[in-house]
A and B are shown apart, each in its own frame.
Chain A
């Protein structure tokens, strides 16, 4: 079989080799563009995945709070309390439980912010009150036990660390300077496991009291700050929300339901928008590269006018001349894109490590897809930049081209 040789490709390769430095500089433009786009893309993808994982733990939570918009003071339907109250009463809690109990665990929560004193140091702290049965199902103790008496509490790990608390440490709850305030001295009997950010209960940096202790301090028994629903299946979020609203907001808005899965969608969508924006800015570097490639290709055509004239006069078709210059652009694009892809993996890894803080999602499809995508964009930009110079070369008048020196 006869050996096939693409002489047109050979001419393109030799032209690049002959003008190596100029070609290399043009390819570097593509390298920078590919690295910029893929690094930013990978950073965004890694950030989205990291945020999604962090938020998905709390995404299966519905938080029901009293409606702060306020109605006209009418009695609420389904329950028995006024919608003007800034708490959820026991009847409303029971209504919620009836409406969505089958979808997951429903528990009420008391919350206050108060002055506390550890040793000699005073500060503000978030204080939760929980029913005993809820503590057993919701809280995970890392060290110690759950509180059994009114003088014992559990604290979150961050709170314990910030205040140098261990099992047995004492905390004074309440402002000692305020004569009307009730002061309660408590002992830490348990430190919780780290839970991470959460919409229902931010226990990491809080003190958690029993319901009895909490209402003893702040009053308001059965007047809950919020009711949380931990869904068994995140897909039930919409149905459960509707069920609660149907049950309590029939006549007027008594409660508002915050669906954390929607918040997660909103946050990941915001991260995606930011990623696209940053990638678009990175894309400007590819426009600069495109100008550079265009310039190099135009110079190549201008310098080789006579050669083009010779090629045409001895039987080279217009299409073959066009192909010769397009090949040149593609080769520059390919070289730039391949070097750019290799550098993207290194620089992208560093960018993700610095900006996201973890590279555990780096070698995933959603992250690495930006490498071939940016390579394709880089090569496409090169071809686009090479089309006009190539067209110009192919359409030169062979007689005029032969006369050129």
Chain B
């Protein structure tokens, strides 16, 4: 029996209807990503990779076609179920870190845990994850604005991992970091992949893309043949 792919797009299209005419962002796209893969999605600006990321991340649903995340067709999902999917199955790592400014680093990591378990973390998982990404207890009490870009991205990685998601979805994770810090973050992501996690990186940087096991190139909303 073949394993269920963690992400499967079959003939997926995304069309934005505009007054000036429909914009086809994704054009009959078919992609399959297996559990434990490290995939880079690459393409120039406007190629449709952000749209693809939004579909895979459960933030948006395709206009047509079938998109299965961990075997579930998201086109049929209610907003509540899609939100639960984002909470439980997907760990987001954004280019701009996107930590919640009102919460400390510790609370930012704990936030999705509380949403899922309806209680605070008393298992020590938040502290362990923060330690794993190199954020000590003192830094954990700081608000995002008091941390460097690299530190914020480390906190974001810890947050993405807190609910043990099936997919780590990274949108230009090194885009706002200097080369040295960016390299450290990439090492961290590779280590997570080595632990068996599915890592998907959306990037336009070939050097980042080259570090993945497999690269999917998108152009004009279609998969570009290698």
A→B interface (CB under 8 Å): 2-5, 7, 10-11, 14-15, 18, 306-307, 309-318, 320, 398-399, 402
Contact = CB atoms under 8 A, between A and B. Distances in A.
B102 A18 contact: yes
Contact of A310 (B88, B98, B110, B120): B98
Contacts of B40: none
Contacts of A15: 102
A10 B108 CA distance: 12
B111 A5 contact: no
A315 B120 contact: no
Given A3-B119, A313-B59, A318 B92 contact: no
B54 interface: yes
B208 to A, nearest CB: 21
B116 A315 contact: yes
A314 B101 contact: no
30 contacts: A2-B119, A3-B122, A4-B120, A5-B119, A5-B120, A7-B107, A7-B114, A7-B115, A14-B103, A18-B102, A306-B98, A307-B101, A307-B102, A310-B99, A312-B83, A313-B57, A314-B86, A314-B92, A314-B111, A314-B112, A315-B86, A316-B115, A317-B80, A317-B83, A318-B80, A320-B115, A399-B54, A399-B59, A399-B60, A402-B98
B98 A313 contact: yes
B100 interface: yes
B138 interface: no
A379 to B, nearest CB: 24
Given A5-B114, A313-B57, A402-B98, A318 B119 contact: no
Interface of A, secondary structure class, is helix
A11 B100 CA distance: 9
B52 to A, nearest CB: 12
B87 interface: yes
Interface in B152-197: 159, 163
Nearest to A320: B115
A11 B83 contact: no
Contacts of B59: 313, 398-399, 402
Contacts of B87: 314-315
Interface in B104-146: 107, 110-112, 114-120, 122
Contacts of A10: 103, 107
Contact of A315 (B54, B101, B115): B115
B84 interface: yes
A7 B113 CA distance: 11
B34 interface: no
A36 B101 CA distance: 38
Given A312-B83, A317-B83, A402-B98, A3 B120 contact: yes
Contacts of B92: 313-314
B224 interface: no
B123 to A, nearest CB: 9
